[in-house]
Chain A
């Protein structure tokens, strides 16, 4: 069995053309789609996330690698066996009420997906009520809240309160992030975790669920 090194390297470089060729090669050689995903793609994206957190690569490279992974995942899609792919966890994510900023949220969603999580992205300007409604529906392991304005940060506390009132608070882990958000604020509003960028969001998410 191949070691998927060429595939991982292509994902790392954001070289979609080569990555697709390598992914197809692996399929043709008899590798299971789930193994290609895990060892070739997810492993590469974990490295991408780490490199980003370390400041070795930047947002454009991260986006490029994520796009490459997405294309490869599309290629593999028809070949996944029933019950083969286990998601690392379900994440419900959105930008809080009154806030339309989505760049950070999109980066985090992308990196979590690249790490093997299943993402439901609600978009922007999401009220506490909507978070609760969707949480009931999706039953996520983690709820991610994003805010870019200091004036919309209070909506994070309101959302946590709404989850509490709905009896859902102890069924999920809440992770928050965004430019004005801090570790201190996360503790203040009793969030479970805070992540400062898309790279560390992956590590924090894994830590919340006790997985690696």
Chain B
């Protein structure tokens, strides 16, 4: 499972403060703890700074990579912010995200195909949110085609089936899970990715819902997840479920996590 550490997002109060005050040690600290907890990518998002997003995102990229050798997930719908961030990024970045929304597709495609990068492809079309498995797979397939035509290899595409809250419609869980399974089946080699918190919007005890959803996603074939790797309960679920699905040789990761006191 590829882990994208989600914590550096200016929608969090402490991160917003740190970015405002250019508090580099704080940001580096949050990145480091996620990397040490197992993150393969660190997501950086400065979306709440609507007028200053470009400079804030660039600052985040430079700051994190000044001390930590890890690729970043550049999280923004703004092509200018992304272009500037990519320039400053060391190594191969992940772009989060592109969708079939006309404006977004047109402006981001050239930026993505200008250099090697991983791409999150969000199953959202020009006019509406998908409601069924079929709609998600249709949008996902089209995005995969557009990206591969533009030169992005399948293995560098991460399809996000668009997670919606079950509180609004209890079919949202099966719709997302079904889409993950079908996309992994129809496009061998592609990746799927999602965040965990949308699923539980509008319900109490969201953390219970989120970590059980993670377990289900893994069993349906999800290959990457945007989460908080410092959340021990979440990581326990991840490690345990991977082992139960036969993905942990000699139960090594599970036992190591136990010996390190990380299982809760």
Interface set of A (CB-CB < 8 Å, partner B): 55, 58-60, 63, 98, 100-103, 124-125, 149-151, 153-154, 180
Contacts and interface: CB of A to CB of B under 8 A. Distances in A.
A59 B50 contact: no
Interface centre among B77, B101, B167 (most CB of A within 10 A): B167
A169 B103 CA distance: 30
Contacts of A103: 164-165, 168, 201
Interface string B20-62: 0000000000000000000000000001101001000000000
24 contacts: A58-B167, A58-B202, A58-B204, A59-B168, A59-B201, A59-B203, A60-B203, A98-B103, A100-B101, A100-B127, A100-B128, A101-B129, A102-B129, A103-B165, A103-B168, A125-B127, A149-B47, A149-B77, A150-B11, A150-B48, A151-B50, A151-B77, A154-B50, A180-B11
Nearest to A59: B202
B47 A151 contact: yes
Interface of B: 11, 47-48, 50, 53, 77-78, 101, 103, 124, 127-129, 164-165, 167-168, 201-204
A55 B202 CA distance: 10
A150 B168 contact: no
A181 to B, nearest CB: 11
A9 B183 CA distance: 45
B167 A59 contact: yes
A102 B47 CA distance: 20
B53 to A, nearest CB: 8
Contacts of B48: 150, 180
Interface of A is mostly: loop
B83 to A, nearest CB: 16
Contacts, number: 46
B50 A100 contact: no
Interface centre among A60, A125, A153 (most CB of B within 10 A): A60
A151 B49 CA distance: 9
Closest 9 pairs (CB-CB, A-B): A59-B202, A59-B167, A150-B48, A150-B47, A60-B167, A103-B168, A58-B203, A150-B50, A151-B77
Contacts of A60: 167-168, 202-203
Interface centre among A63, A101, A103, A124 (most CB of B within 10 A): A103
Contacts of B202: 58-60
Contacts of A149: 47, 77
A124 B128 contact: yes
A102 B124 CA distance: 13
B214 to A, nearest CB: 21
Contacts of B165: 59, 103
Nearest to B168: A103
Contact of A63 (B77, B101, B127, B168): B168
A102 B169 CA distance: 13
Nearest to B46: A150
B129 A100 contact: yes
Contacts of B78: 151
Contacts of A153: 50
A150 B56 CA distance: 15
A88 to B, nearest CB: 25
A3 B57 CA distance: 60
Contacts of A98: 103
Nearest to B202: A59
Contacts of B164: 103
Interface centre among B47, B50, B101 (most CB of A within 10 A): B50
